[in-house]
Amino acid sequence: MQSRIKLLTTLTVIERPPGGFDDECPICTDDFESPVALPCKHIYCRKCICEWLSMRSRNTCPKCRVILFTNNDANRGPVGYERLQLVALAFQHSGLMGDRYEEYTDELSFNVSTIQRASAAAHQYLAEETHSAPTEDVLIHMGLLGPHLIAMANLLEGYAQAAGRPYSGYQSRDWKLIVSRLIDLLLLADGQTRSGRDVVRMAAEYRGRIRESLTQDLIDIHSGRFFEPDARLDSPCGDLDVLLNYMVFRCANLCEERRAQQEELARQQQEALEQESTAVGYGMRWLGQAVFGGV
């Protein structure tokens, strides 16, 4: 199924029939302006449907509710070369190219080279236009996950600036609190493995836990607009979506890497046992021939 961006960028204005259209735009309830037709054949004003489908939670036709694309945290911003340019600017604004990045917590400490390696992975993730949702088990390992969260959190604030919506002072403060709370919550689960059936709910679960933690401390969670239920994708709320989905993505990678390491270790152990068995067999045959003249 095509992405949100692909759909929005390929909508083309259709010709009006000689008698005009039979009814009005279902969204603005006014005469059609620059009408476009969705794959389901329903017609809307181009501006109206683009605004409708730019909301985080909306991926269906407003009229018949047919699914038009898969909701994905990568379905944001420009595509192609323009997207790469924007993410490159985000990298420059983030401070990750030097040592001017925010660490977000005192509980974890990583050297600059570790953060820069994690930054390259975060940069690649943000530049990609689609991501497949993990379905296998995930591993929470903060020694390995921590630098990736720090890198992505810095990169997303740089992305907001590059996209022309720089964080205000309040938003920067709230973002630091959000990332710090996320790290604290993950530290409590350090070393845990989550089953595949829980993965689809993991990002939403941690969003709710962060919100609850901030609310309990009487912190205004509405000032920074990171928890708006129906915000646009290119918004502070969308940035938090990306951070949480990247967390799940990295946890899935960690679990896959650990499984691969375990399989490699088991293979090496099996080879060692086979080699040892072969060596013992040779030794026994030699001893039998030397003592008994053959066995």
Q: Delimit the domains of the chain by residue range.
A: 4-53, 80-257
Q: What is the residue whose two structure tokens read 């390491």?
A: 261
Q: What is the pTM of this model?
A: 0.75
Q: Which of 212, 160, 154, 218 is nearest to 185 (CA)?
A: 212
| Cβ atoms of 4 and 53 closer than 8 Å | yes
Name all contacts of 222-227 with Cβ < 8 Å and 24+ positions apart: 223/170, 223/171, 223/174, 224/167, 224/170, 224/171, 224/173, 224/174, 224/175, 225/171, 226/171, 226/174, 226/175, 226/178
Query: HEC string of 157-217?
Result: HHHHHHCCCCCCHHHHHHHHHHHHHHHHHHHHCCCCEECHHHHHHHHHHHHHHHHHHHHHC
Amino acid code (one letter) for 206: Y
Q: Hey, which residues does 194 pair with through a beta bridge?
A: 138
SS3 24: coil
From first to last of its 295 residues, the chain has per-residue pLDDT tens of 677 877 888 888 998 776 677 778 999 999 899 999 999 989 999 999 988 887 777 888 999 989 888 777 667 777 778 888 999 999 999 989 887 899 999 999 999 999 999 999 999 999 887 777 677 788 899 999 999 999 999 999 999 999 999 999 999 999 999 999 999 999 999 999 888 777 778 888 999 999 999 999 988 888 888 998 777 778 899 899 999 999 999 998 888 777 676 667 777 777 776 766 676 666 666 666 666 665 4
Q: Hey, which residues does 36 pair with through a beta bridge?
A: 13, 44
Q: Which of 167, 152, 177 is nearest to 242 (CA)?
A: 152
Q: Hey, which residues does 219 pair with through a beta bridge?
A: none
Indicate the pairing of strand 35-37 with strand 43-45: antiparallel
What contacts 244, CB < 8 A, 6 or more positions away?
A: 182, 202, 203, 204, 206, 207
